Amino acid sequence: MMALLQQSDLDANRKPIFVIVMGVSGSGKSTIGKLLADALGIHFLDGDQLHSTSNLDKMRSGVSLDDTDRLTWLQSISQKMNEAAIKAISNCATDKRFGIVVGCSALKAKYRKILRGFCLNYDPTSTPSNDSIENTRNVHILFLKGSFEELKVRVEARSGHFMPSSLLQNQLDTLEEPTEDEQIDNEKRVRGKLVTSSIKSDPKNIVSSFLKVVSYDSTPK
């Protein structure tokens, strides 16, 4: 069973950094996510790596995933974020910065609630206990936004990717763009910041602008 962290532990020690780089297929989540993780000196996780074989097969065949398909996947990503929090507390005496940058489509608000640690599943009442790891996470969201035409060019230029271009419009139709009020949890705490960037911007500029908004420098302390 996963050990629990007290909120006071995080107050007394270095807090880990959590960032979700989100957007539909072709928005540049991996490119931006890796650049951002390198700038912060923390780990990058491509959320697609945690998809089940059945999910990957479904998408390869041109069938979009539904909420049921995505739930275990989202919970797996959340678990990786929990592990990053535990690692941060275990190494609080060092000068190294800890945390994780995750590339994940995070298309719906209820998906992002799980990733932020506000809920354990789609039930809005499934809130973590006050002393749980999830309840300590402040998750920043970097939303990469682009038009269908811009994204289609990118998706069609890729080779060997499991996501066919035929699913792009479905993703855009499913997408619920993140809003500032999503960052507020059930206890009215603001947990993280939201930054929206155009995919037309230079990747390095996207990263530097994000770092300014969330007040992180690019040299791990």
Rounded CA-CA distance 5/133 in Å is 6
Predicted local confidence at residue 165, as pLDDT? 81
Task: Name the residue among 134, 128, 132, 101 with its Cα closest to residue 116.
Answer: 134
Predicted local confidence at residue 1, as pLDDT? 31
Residues 65-89 pLDDT 10s = 999 999 999 999 999 999 988 887 7
Strands annotated E in the chain: 17-22, 43-46, 99-103, 139-145, 194-198
Task: Name the residue among 4, 3, 7 with its Cα closest to residue 187.
Answer: 7
> Which two structure tokens, joined as six digits, stand for 126?
């499934």
* Mean pLDDT score of the chain: 87
Amino acid making up residue 122: Y
Residues 121-158 pLDDT 10s = 999 999 999 888 888 789 999 999 999 999 999 998 87
Predicted local confidence at residue 11, as pLDDT? 41
pLDDT lower than 70: segments of the chain: 1-14, 92-95, 160-161, 217-221
Predicted local confidence at residue 95, as pLDDT? 59
The pTM of the full predicted model, rounded to 2 decimals, is 0.89
Predicted local confidence at residue 87, as pLDDT? 83
The label of the residue with tokens 């809130």 reads 127
